[in-house]
């Protein structure tokens, strides 16, 4: 959907798929620039930028949750405005996480520390 070497997504890492009535929407994170790119069959758009080391990514309604492996942080990004809110910091390496929609929480592995963090989403 985005050609290799494209400036918006040169180092793809995190990927999330949202299923809607209109079809599937694909979101991808660029590990180096911290771009979150929304892609459809008609093109792409950068929704947020600047969260380097993006690893985990999920879409939940009007927000995107992303983890930074290098920063040890977890972010909430408003899909409409691109505004970022820091939800958690202090991890050594916040890896790909699990979004538990039933319990409304993220389960985040810290690979280097060997721990799991359960982050309630309000």
CATH of the domain at 80: 2.120.10.30
Residue 2 included in any domain: no
By mean pLDDT, which of 21-25, 68-72, 86-90 is the weakest? 21-25
Sheet holding 98-100, edge to edge: 98-100, 105-110, 115-120
Total number of domains in the chain: 1
Percent of the chain with pLDDT over 70: 93
Task: Supply the pLDDT for residue 38.
Answer: 83
Confidence class for position 115, pLDDT limits 50, 70, 90: very high
Q: What is the pTM of this model?
A: 0.89
pLDDT in tens, 1-34: 666 767 778 888 888 988 878 777 888 999 988 8
* 114 sits in which H/E element: none
Sheet holding 36-40, edge to edge: 12-20, 23-30, 36-40, 43-48
Boundaries of domain holding 111: 12-120
By mean pLDDT, which of 24-28, 62-66, 89-93, 104-108 is the weakest? 24-28
Residue 34 included in any domain: yes
């Amino acid at each position: 959907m985005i050609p290799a070497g494209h400036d918006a997504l040169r180092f793809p890492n995190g990927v999330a798929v949202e299923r809607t009535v209109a079809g599937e929407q694909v979101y991808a994170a660029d590990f180096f620039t911290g771009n979150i790119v929304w892609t459809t069959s008609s093109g792409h758009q950068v929704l947020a930028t600047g969260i380097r080391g993006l690893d985990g990514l999920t879409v939940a309604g009007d927000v995107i949750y992303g983890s930074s492996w290098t920063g040890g942080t977890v972010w909430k990004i408003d899909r409409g405005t691109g505004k970022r809110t820091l939800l958690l910091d202090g991890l050594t390496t916040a890896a790909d996480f699990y979004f538990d929609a039933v319990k409304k929480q993220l389960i985040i592995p810290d690979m280097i520390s060997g721990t799991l963090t359960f982050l309630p989403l309000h």
